[in-house]
């Protein structure tokens, strides 16, 4: 499919116009999906690799990461991206449903600790367990024909700690033994921050956006009280935002759910882009967010993956994309993307409708 004007502006320029609250030829768009969705789309479109798929969809952002070269008894992948033991010592077990597979935590390596000393003495990963040498070449390749906005997602100081400790135990720690919770958060932050610095250096200054995150919201409100977050988590989360902001990079934070009480905090911490804007969560209505924060913050996401994308019609998807651009993208400040990684129960025609609506939109 060819859409008029799709090649008029560099993807990087389109993204940065939005972040800086300006407009370009059309809104920038990003693509985040599960591996199953990648395979479904490539098969449907007769495309043979992921980069060609992103080019077809018109995605303006590209994600890069170092390669794991550490101990061979781990998968090397943190989080839900691979089953087995990750480099933090967390064990992930694949859980299947009728549509796809998600990896769920089967073992929390710090679940047993009772002291700060035990946390400090844990076999924390080393930044030397990663190869950074290829990053400049990879970014050069991604930008060979058109310059994209390059993002590296560093990690976070809330989600990783509870992955390692267990969610219930970590939340109890914040009240009963905050010194343990803070030590885990600090050690996670220090690792992620040092690794991010290595990535930036190895890339030759070609990282444009530094991402961090960790879900602190639920459908109805925050997972923990704002004051508890401010006291025990915010200082460490800030260290994955402010230093990179001060270096001249744009900053990105991911949290699902309703986090309205602390959005001002994130702005104060130096945040440029808030993701993923879960529109069905309490208080996360686009009009409210734009009116309250839209001159000081850009928004990434917002296209409902709970109901609209899996269950709506293609026409409804196009209409909602246009509505959100009209709201969030007023005077810039919006990068269109699904409000979660696109799930494998989403019809292909709805995915394509989202990207077609963006390509055809003109300010």
pLDDT number for residue 7: 54
pLDDT number for residue 362: 87
Question: Which structural domains are found in the chain, ordered by start?
Answer: 11-70+105-360 (3.20.20.210)
- What is d(CA 260, CA 275) in angstroms, rounded to the nearest whole number? 12
- What is d(CA 363, CA 357) in angstroms, rounded to the nearest whole number? 12
Residues near 298 by beta carbon (within 8 Å), at least 6 away in sequence: 18, 19, 21, 272, 273, 274, 332, 333, 334, 335
**Cβ proximity of 129 and 87 under 8 Å:** yes
Residue 180 tokens, joined: 């343990």
- What is d(CA 327, CA 332) in angstroms, rounded to the nearest whole number? 10
The mean pLDDT of the chain is 95
Does residue 181 carry a pLDDT above 50?
A: yes
Mean pLDDT, range 241-269, rounded to an integer? 98
306 CB burial (10 A radius; 0-12, 13-18, 19+): middle
Running DSSP on this structure, what letter comes out for residue 344?
T
- What is d(CA 218, CA 220) in angstroms, rounded to the nearest whole number? 5
- What is d(CA 187, CA 109) in angstroms, rounded to the nearest whole number? 14
Mean pLDDT, range 59-84, rounded to an integer? 90
pLDDT number for residue 357: 98
Q: pLDDT (tens digit, 9 = 90+) per residue, 4-25?
A: 344 579 999 999 999 999 999 9
pLDDT number for residue 2: 33
Phi and psi, residue 228, nearest 5°: -65, -40
Residues near 354 by beta carbon (within 8 Å), at least 6 away in sequence: 303, 309, 317, 318, 321, 336, 338
This prediction's pTM: 0.96
Mean pLDDT, range 210-216, rounded to an integer? 97
Confidence band for 3, pLDDT divided at 50, 70 and 90: very low
Does residue 152 carry a pLDDT above 60?
A: yes
Mean pLDDT, range 209-218, rounded to an integer? 98
Give residue 141's Cα distance to chain centre: 22
Q: How far apart are the first and last CA of the chain?
A: 21
Does residue 196 carry a pLDDT above 90?
A: yes
Q: pLDDT (tens digit, 9 = 90+) per residue, 93-148?
A: 999 988 888 899 999 999 999 999 999 999 999 999 999 999 999 999 999 999 99
Does residue 49 carry a pLDDT above 90?
A: yes
Residue 31 tokens, joined: 């693509």
pLDDT number for residue 6: 45
Going by C-alpha positions, the residue among 66, 53, 61 that lies closest to residue 29 is: 61
Beta bridge partners, 251, equal 210
Mean pLDDT, range 169-183, rounded to an integer? 98
Positions of E strands within 202-258: 209-213, 250-254
Q: pLDDT (tens digit, 9 = 90+) per residue, 323-355?
A: 999 999 988 999 999 999 999 999 999 999 999
């Amino acid at each position: 499919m060819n859409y008029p004007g799709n090649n008029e502006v560099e993807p990087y320029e389109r993204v940065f116009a939005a972040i800086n609250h300006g407009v370009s030829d059309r809104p920038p768009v990003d693509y985040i999906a599960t591996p199953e969705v990648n395979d479904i789309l490539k098969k449907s479109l007769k495309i043979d690799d992921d980069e060609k798929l992103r080019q077809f969809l018109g995605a303006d952002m590209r994600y890069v990461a170092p390669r794991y070269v550490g101990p061979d008894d781990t998968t090397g992948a943190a989080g839900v991206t691979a089953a087995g033991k990750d480099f933090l010592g967390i064990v992930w077990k694949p859980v299947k449903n009728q549509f796809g597979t998600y990896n769920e935590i089967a073992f929390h390596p710090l679940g047993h600790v009772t002291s700060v000393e035990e946390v400090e003495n844990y076999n924390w990963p080393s930044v030397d367990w990663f190869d950074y040498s290829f990053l400049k070449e990879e970014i050069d390749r991604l930008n060979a024909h058109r310059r994209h906005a390059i993002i590296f997602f560093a990690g976070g100081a809330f989600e990783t700690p509870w992955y390692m400790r267990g969610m219930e135990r970590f939340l109890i720690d914040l009240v009963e033994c905050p010194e343990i919770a803070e030590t885990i958060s600090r050690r996670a932050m220090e690792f992620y921050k040092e690794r991010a610095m290595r990535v930036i250096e190895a890339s030759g200054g070609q990282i444009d956006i530094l991402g961090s995150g960790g879900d602190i919201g639920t459908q109805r409100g925050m997972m923990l009280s704002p004051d508890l977050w401010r006291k025990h988590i915010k200082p460490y989360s800030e260290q994955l935002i402010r230093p990179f902001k001060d270096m001249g990079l744009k900053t990105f934070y991911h949290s699902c759910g309703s986090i309205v009480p602390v959005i001002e905090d994130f702005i104060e911490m130096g945040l440029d882009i808030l993701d993923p804007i879960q529109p069905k969560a309490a208080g996360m209505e686009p009009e409210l967010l734009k009116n309250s924060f839209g001159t000081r913050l850009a928004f990434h996401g917002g296209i409902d993956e709970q109901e609209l994308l899996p269950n709506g019609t293609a026409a409804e998807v196009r209409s909602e994309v246009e509505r959100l651009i009209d709201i969030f993208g007023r005077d810039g400040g919006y990068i269109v993307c699904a409000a979660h990684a696109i799930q494998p129960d989403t019809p292909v025609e709805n995915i394509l409708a989202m990207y077609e609506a963006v390509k055809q939109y003109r300010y």
